[in-house]
Structure formats: C-alpha cells, structure tokens
Amino acid sequence: MNGLRGKVAIVTGGGRGLGYAIVERLVTEGVSVAILALHAESVRDAINNLGADRKDVIGLVADVTLEEEVRDAVARTVAAFGHLDIMVNNAGTIVISPLVDMTTEAWDHVVDVNLRGVFLGCREAARQMIAQGRGGRIINGASGAGRRGGSLISAYSATKFGVIGLTQSLAVELAPHGITVNAYCPGHVTSTPMWDFIDREMASITGEEIGSARRAAESEAPLGRAGKPEEVAAAVAFLASDEAPFITGESLLIDGGLVRF
C-alpha cells in the first residue's frame, strides 16, 4: 500500500492473534514496528516468528492500563526508530458472564484494558505526533460488539461502544494536527486465542459442548464463514496508509456482513 514504507508503528497486544497478524502485515509493507505485549514470552515468540535478527522490529513488555508504561513504550519506540507515525491500539480482553454473576473486579478489568488502555495509547501517541508536526494515524481496536450488543458480553460490548465514541471524538479534536483516528470492528474471527477462551466460557455457561459457540459464529454472517486475521490486518494497513488520508472518525466493520449499519 502507498506510503507505508519507512513509517514507524506501535501495535499493542501485538504478540498473538489479531495483533500479530497486524504486525506481520505492517512489517511486510515496510513499516518498522514496536510489538507491545503484556507478557515477555508473547513478545519473544512474535519476534522469533518474524525473524529474530530483524532490525525493523523491537519488543516492548508493558501494561496498557498503566500510563507510565505506555508513555515509556512511546519513548522507547522513538528512541529506536526516530519517530512515531502509526499507533494501533489493539490490546483487549473479554469476560463471558451473565450480568447477575459478574463481579465488579471482572467489569473493572475489562474497562481498564479495553477503554483506559485505548485512551492512554491515543493520548501518548497524539502527544508524540503533535510534537513531531507531521500528522499521523491512530487506529483503535473496537468490535462488531461495539455496534451491536449481545448476551453474556456486556462488559466487552460496553467498552467497544466506548472505543468507537472515543475514536469519533478524537477524530475531530486531532484533525487540525493532521492526525486521523479510526477504529476497526472485527466480527467472528474465530481462529484467535480470544475465541478459544470465548468458546470454552460459553460452553461452561450454556452446558453445550466445546466448539458449539465457534460453529454458530462461523455460520452466522451472510458470507457464511469466519473471518481471518489477515483480513483484519489488511483493513488496518489500509487505514494506516496514504490511501486513506480523507477517512477519519470511522469504525470499519470487518465481519462478513454480520452487522449492517
């Protein structure tokens, strides 16, 4: 895609799943990438899969809910590569629970990672991009569940609606600085570690066999199949590229036609 080669990105939650697919696509496009993950082994495995001797990838172990760690991650990325052009706030978590059984601790954890973490990533990236004076791209991980709620995912859905609201607000606020802010909304990409967790938790609550939730999801979209991580990564790369300079404040659905508004 046009205009990606030579750019620098941070991808939170970049060690596995959708985050790793995004890292892999950006690296292929010539972007230097800082892979940020909560666990050192995730960072190590991602770098090894890409090629341990690469000069265009660094690993950062950080908690997106802690502002000093997010701030330090931006500083370390700039120290390594000289600037920051693209921030992908992909890190996320989920709890599967009926409302009446959900603890405040579980609710707070999902809000902290999915909403506070995105806020901190946006803020620190925006500070750096404004100081550079060359614009930038902030791309936030939302979900089809941020456009349409569903049973047993109230905390997750609430935070993803929040990410879309944050994205729309920041698109207006940061436009004078040449920074676009968009969100991507995957739906039923069932080959990820998060979906392994969802499938097990759904089975535990509903009493159905493991695999039932995944099979139901894979047949729900009009296109009749699950999404693929690389399809989400392609959409993120497009939003990061020079092919999308007039797109901001959008939440792009990548879900096979599941949610249609």
> Which residue shows structure tokens 């603890």?
103
189 and 236 Cβ atoms separated by less than 8 Å: no
The domains found in the chain, sorted by start residue, are 8-188+227-254 (3.40.50.720)
Q: How confident is the model at residue 52 (pLDDT cuts 50, 70, 90)?
A: confident
Q: How confident is the model at residue 17 (pLDDT cuts 50, 70, 90)?
A: very high
CA pair distance 43, 35, nearest whole angstrom: 7
Strand partners, 60: 36
> Quick one: tokens of 75?
């500083």
Of the candidates 55, 160, 184, 228, the residue annotated as catalytic is 160
pLDDT of 261 reads: 81
Stretch 81-88: mean pLDDT:
98
Over range 210-228, report the average pLDDT: 94
- 55 assigned to active site: no
**151, 189, 199, 212, 220 from 202: Cα distances, Å:** 10, 16, 5, 8, 16
Tell me the three-class secondary structure of 31-49, residue by residue: CEEEEEECCHHHHHHHHHH
CA 192 to chain CA mean position, Å: 13
| 3 state DSSP class of 209 | coil
* Residue 156 annotated among the catalytic residues of the structure: yes
What tens digit of pLDDT does each residue of 168-180 get? 999 999 999 999 9
Label residue 1 by pLDDT band (50, 70, 90).
confident
High-pLDDT (> 70) share of the chain, %: 100
Calculate mean pLDDT across residues 77-92. Answer: 98
Q: Let me know the angle formed at the C-alpha of 230 by 194 and 140, rounded to the nearest 5 degrees.
A: 65
Q: Mean of the pLDDT values across residues 195-215?
A: 93
The whole-angstrom distance between residue 125's C-alpha and the CA centroid of its chain comes to: 14
Does residue 66 carry a pLDDT above 90? Answer: yes
Residue type, 46: A
Do 250 and 9 meet the contact criterion of CB atoms below 8 Å apart? no
3-state secondary structure of 105: helix
- Decide: 124 and 71 in contact? Cβ < 8 Å: yes
Measured in degrees and rounded to the nearest 5, phi and psi for residue 5 equal -60, 130
To the nearest whole number, what is the mean pLDDT of the chain? 97
Tell me what pLDDT residue 53 has: 84
